[in-house]
Structures are given as C-alpha cells and as structure tokens.
Structure 1
C-alpha cells in the first residue's frame, strides 16, 4: 500500500505545466459543448438567457455534488457564456476573514467567483 502511494506521489510530482494546459484546453467552453447533467444544463441555460435578456450578470449559483460531476467546468462555462472573467479560489485558501474580503473587493462588475471546496472553508 505504501509503495502504491509513493508511486502516485511521484507521478503527481512529475505532472508538467503542459499537462494542466492540455486539461484546460480540453474542457468545454460553452454550454452546448458540455456533456451530461441534462437537468442542470437546462436550468442553467434558462438562467443565463434570462440574465442576458435583462442585461445583468447572473445572480448566485450553488453547484454541489461529489467530485467529477463538472462543477468547476460549469463555473467556467457560466463565465464564458456571460463573457465574464472567472476568478477561482478554494475554501481552504481562505484562511482569514480578510482573504475573502480582498477577493470580493477586487472583482469587476460581472465577474464570476468560483469557490471550490467551500465546505472546507475555515468557519471563523
């Protein structure tokens, strides 16, 4: 078991920036490229269309579920569909109250803020 973990760590350590760029380049950019989650897609398409018709940014969206369902990808798709910048952080990265405040004050109107693993955010 320990050998297997060591091999996984070695593989992860060997990951190259090109691998990450390739992963990002393969992700869907628009809603019609996203495969799966038909109910979620249908609701989001209505939501996005309504926001565009009003000429306003999207309101709050909460994407939840186990790993691998496409939450991060959908956050980027929402940003692309709304022609907005996507700012990404994670719950564990927000260690102090001021961390979130700093991110929020630097957002431009219409920006999408995606907080990954928000359930792991420090509660204080």
Structure 2
C-alpha cells in the first residue's frame, strides 16, 4: 500500500516558498557534505511541519529523532538525546516553545558549537565539563511563535 504522505520534497503540495527554500538548503548541505542549518517551522496545525521534517531527513538520508518540548523536562533529558545523535542527524522538537528555559540555554550551545556543557558538583565544588557533540540539525516546530525565546527565533 502506497503512503498518502509525501516521501520527497517534490511530492509535497503547498507552502511553495518554504519548499523552495528547503530545496536550496538541502542542495547546499549535500554539496558541502555537511549538516543542514537549523530550521524553525511555525504555523497552525496541519500545515505539514512534521511531514517536512521527515522529508528533509529522507532527502538527506539521515536519521530523524523525534521529541516534544514537554517531554524534555530537564537538561539531562536533552543530554541523553544529543549524545546519541549520529553525524548530521536531525533532531525534531515539536512544541519547541514548551522547552524549559534551562533546557533552552543548553540547547543554544549545542546548536552553535556542537558542545554540551555539563555541570558537576554543586556550589563551591561545581565545575563544568564540556562534551563534544556530533554535528546535527535542529528542526523546531511550534504553533505559538510568540512564545519562542529570541535566541531560538534567530
């Protein structure tokens, strides 16, 4: 039985400007042999945000790891996801506007530098170790753009 959902970017119907931008980004990623730049999809339900993330992963022949903002309650939840990503994997976070602020702050470092700062100990004995991460692409999706913190919007 053939899937009703599109399996390639050329099969996706609608969102012409978005699709054209994604095609260019995919082609650029392939020609550079590098991860795709991070993406934020926003809009009402049913526009294809999740479908586009799946298509991008298929087009790039990489794995798509799915999570929701509410399921990533603590930095340790995010760390567990990030350290298990393979090179150029896509991390799709639905309802990204619901990430707790401490998780967002760690996510910024991971997105910018592919590094994961881990604080060990507490108070005077606290120190930070930094884990190197594989390059990855974050695709965030939200229906509530106004609730996205400025660093994630940029």
State the alpha-carbon separation in 1 of the partners of residues 56 and 78 from structure 2: 21
Name the structure where helix makes up a greater proportion of residues.
1
| Distance in 1 between residues matched to 2:15 and 2:100, nearest whole Å | 30
For 1:68 and 1:123, the matched residues in 2 are separated by: 27
Question: Which structure is higher in strand share?
Answer: 2
Q: Pick the aligned partner of 2:73 from 86, 95, 98.
A: 95
* 1:105 match: 83
SS at match of 1:76: helix
Q: How far is the alpha carbon of 1:122 from its aligned partner?
A: 2.4
Q: How many residues align?
A: 101
Larger radius of gyration: 1
TM-score by length of 2: 0.63
Counterpart secondary structure, 2:93: strand
Q: Which has the higher contact order (CA 8 A, sep 6+)?
A: 2
Query: Which ranges of 4 or more aligned residues in structure 1 deviate by more than 6 Å?
Result: none
RMSD in angstroms over aligned alpha carbons? 1.3
In the alignment, structure 2 segments of 5+ residues that lack a partner are 103-154
State the TM-score, normalizing by the size of structure 1. Answer: 0.77
Stretches of structure 1 lacking an aligned partner (at least 5 in a row): 1-21
- Partner residue in 2 for 1:121: 99
Structure 2 CA distance for aligned equivalents of residues 52 and 95 of structure 1: 34
